[in-house]
A and B are shown apart, each in its own frame.
Chain A
Amino acid sequence: MTEATIQSNHPQQAEAFLSNMKRAHWHDQALWFVREKRDKAALGVKEWEALREHASRIKTYTLSKLPTYLEQFETEANKRGIQVHWAKDGEEHNRIIHEILSKHNVQRVVKSKSMLTEECHLNDYLIEKGMDVIDTDLGERIVQLANEPPSHIVLPAIHKNRHEVGELFHEKLNTPKGESDPTRLTHAARGHLREKFIAADAGITGVNFAIASTGGFVVCTNEGNADLGTALPPLHIAAMGLEKLVPTPEDLSVFLRLLARSATGQPVTSYTSHFLGPRPGSEMHVVIVDNGRTGHYAQNEFRRSLSCIRCGACLNTCPVYRRSGGYSYGYTIPGPIGINLAPHRSLEKYHTLPFASSLCGSCSNVCPVKINLHEQILLWRQKLYNAGVVSPAKRLILGGMGKMFTFPGVYTLGGNVFRGVMSLLPVGVIAKLTGAWGKQRDLPPIPKESFRQQFQKMKGHE
């Protein structure tokens, strides 16, 4: 099951997720727990808000000079002996990586987490070419063994409980039946993955931050898998979205203070690894990937979402994500940031996503780089309406409402008729009329008088 095979229909897939309310509630709580850890960590840094503002300004500035910084990065990386490649799209990215691997006669590849390679479906591509590709982040290994994509960008297996992981490991890694202790399961995976690290011919990582002034790049992990995966074999390939740049190491310090605190509430990840050049006797490659990003960049009103540092805080806080799960979005990156990225790929295919939001704004409030996520979601809704991609029923209602609001007389009359009719209808009929909205909710009791009537009355009493 990959992104390509999942149809993106948020309400339909959210409904499937919600068919098991106990599990949905558990998922909601698990993510809220992470959100609370983030709050505690943020409160521990007195200058937190100033730090967010600073990070936001560095990113906006860097984006404004992106081509210049990309060239600087390339020049400096080359000086360090890092080979830089450029890929227009996912297909080219996969081809370049495969070519490098083939040149080195690579059979076994170990990967650390990279949402970009998920986006490009690199694993499927390499496996089809006969290579053995192992995801080494524990969460990613779990979903890989289950033949599923990650359901969260930081916590790939957050949708699975310990018993399901235990079952999976029993089947695939031969752990004792019924074993569900996270420590014992993790240590079983440690043994299994150590063999893979030792046997690997090449390591592939993502890039958290690339530094323009010095040419190196940084990968953050808690497990140390990016380090093990690249310290042993003689070949390291890093896949990098073209927006991952920071101008200097000094700028990097700002983002490293925000990233882990926003993601999991840790003050920093266990390992903040700086890959500054190939080890003696090895090769290091960076593939800079566009895959729709230049088109996104060209849209000024949406450009800020290219500042994202993939911490996942907007997922953890989102009331819709927590209650509908990562798969309901049908896109590599779910949650509020995914809603903002997916339509750049296809407005048509992802047209339900901008409606998977209550527009409460919590995502924008926790975002470490202050992306105006909920405002951009609203912009997407407007785009969808203007592009005619909204469903006919929604279109009719929105169009009708729009007209009605411009004629106060029609509005007053409409309100009176609505109150009259609704008070006469049986509950069952009302539930039908409210559609998807009314599935889990009742309408509040219909007031006898409109607000205007109540207001006039109160004014009379004064």
Chain B
Amino acid sequence: MSSRNYILQALRNAQNNAPELQHPGSFDQAVLFDDPVEQFIESVQVVAGTPVICADLKECAQQIEKHELFREANILCNLEPNWNFSASQKGSGKEWMEVNEQDDPHSFEKVDLCIMQGQFGVAENGAIWIDSRFVAQQAVLFLTQHLILTVPRQEIVQNMHQAYARLSFDSAYYGCFIAGPSKTADIEQALVIGAHGPRSLTVYLIG
């Protein structure tokens, strides 16, 4: 017998006519926040991210261009579809990589700053959803030294239950909730930012 059939058979034998259990259904006791956007901003800070509030995408672009991380970055990637950074930055000496044109994920090794639009944010924990429909090589999000995510203000959900209600995994091979920068507390419980991935996460809340 194959191991597959052996395992399934062993489990079936052990079920021995136990009474049929019911799935408990959806969780409907979640307490909602009065102001989920306010909560999201607070949660981003709890997970060691830096929230920035902008009126619109134009103001966001101006703020990013003034940002120290942006000014110091030499190699950048832009995955914010609503803004053409490269056009506004021609002749600045910065190198812009077109993420979705690279076949080899290793090519992002030297990226200093990556800017990406998150699909939505979660108020209870500051997590932001991204998936492979918008970034073919997820490696760039982890190799980059610093990460900026933009999230439209109207795209904030209350909690993880609402988050998964929005998600279908149909056309993605990778998806991730990103909550803050890469971090660790493996040495004496001391929190250190920048373990393997981005050393910082800045979240621009737009609108």
Binding site for B on A (CB under 8 A): 30, 33-34, 45-47, 50-51, 54, 57-58, 60-61, 64-67, 70-71, 80, 86-88, 92, 136-139, 142, 155-158, 160-162, 165, 182-183, 185-187, 190, 193-194, 197-198, 214, 216, 222-225, 227-228, 231-232, 242, 247, 249-250, 252-254, 256-257, 264, 266-281, 288, 290, 294-295, 297-298, 300
- Using an 8 Å CB-CB cutoff, how does the interface string of B1-22 with A read, 1 for contact, 0 for none? 0111011101111110010111
Verify A67–B27 contact, CB threshold 8 A.
no
Within 8 A of A (CB), among B22-44: 22-24, 26-27, 29-31, 43
Verify A61–B23 contact, CB threshold 8 A.
yes
State whether the Cβ of B117 lies closer than 8 Å to any Cβ in chain A: no
Q: Which residue, B47, B182, B188, has most C-beta atoms of chain A within 10 A?
A: B188
Min CB gap A148→B, angstroms: 14
Name the residue on B nearest A66 (C-beta).
B11
Set of chain A residues within 8 Å of B184, measured between Cβ atoms: 138-139, 186, 222-223
Set of chain A residues within 8 Å of B71, measured between Cβ atoms: none
State whether the Cβ of B194 lies closer than 8 Å to any Cβ in chain A: yes
Q: Which of the residues A30, A272, A278 comes within 8 Å of B177, measured between beta carbons?
A: A272
Set of chain B residues within 8 Å of A224, measured between Cβ atoms: 142, 182, 195-198
Rounded to whole angstroms, the CA-CA distance of A331 and B6 in the bound complex is: 26
Q: Which of the residues B142, B181, B187 comes within 8 Å of A182, measured between beta carbons?
A: B187
Q: List 27 A-B contacts (CB under 8 A).
A: A34-B189, A51-B27, A70-B11, A92-B3, A138-B187, A139-B184, A157-B186, A162-B187, A162-B190, A186-B187, A187-B192, A224-B142, A227-B138, A228-B196, A231-B137, A232-B106, A250-B165, A253-B159, A253-B160, A253-B163, A254-B161, A256-B160, A273-B175, A274-B169, A274-B176, A279-B137, A294-B7
Verify B24–A228 contact, CB threshold 8 A.
no
Rounded to whole angstroms, the CA-CA distance of A406 and B172 in the bound complex is: 67
The answer to whether A228 and B139 touch (CB under 8 A), given A80-B173, A249-B164, A253-B163, is yes
Set of chain B residues within 8 Å of A61, measured between Cβ atoms: 21-24
The 5 closest A-B pairs by CB, nearest first: A224-B197, A139-B186, A267-B125, A231-B139, A223-B195
State whether the Cβ of B52 lies closer than 8 Å to any Cβ in chain A: no
Set of chain A residues within 8 Å of B22, measured between Cβ atoms: 61
The answer to whether A268 and B27 touch (CB under 8 A), given A67-B8, A197-B196, is no
Verify A257–B124 contact, CB threshold 8 A.
yes
Set of chain B residues within 8 Å of A276, measured between Cβ atoms: 132, 169, 172-175
Interface size on B, as a range, is 35 or more
Q: Which of the residues A30, A88, A227, A253 comes within 8 Å of B176, measured between beta carbons?
A: A227
Verify B183–A54 contact, CB threshold 8 A.
no
A-B contact count (CB 8 A): 245
Interface SS majority for chain B: loop
Set of chain A residues within 8 Å of B118, measured between Cβ atoms: none
Name the residue on B nearest A84 (C-beta).
B4
Verify B186–A137 contact, CB threshold 8 A.
yes
State whether the Cβ of B207 lies closer than 8 Å to any Cβ in chain A: no
The answer to whether A190 and B30 touch (CB under 8 A), given A228-B142, A242-B7, A278-B173, is no
Rounded to whole angstroms, the CA-CA distance of A222 and B176 in the bound complex is: 12
Set of chain B residues within 8 Å of A67, measured between Cβ atoms: 8, 11-12, 15
Set of chain A residues within 8 Å of B124, measured between Cβ atoms: 45, 257, 267
Verify B174–A266 contact, CB threshold 8 A.
no
Q: Which of the residues A54, A186, A279 comes within 8 Å of B27, measured between beta carbons?
A: A54
Set of chain B residues within 8 Å of A257, measured between Cβ atoms: 124, 159-160
State whether the Cβ of B126 lies closer than 8 Å to any Cβ in chain A: yes
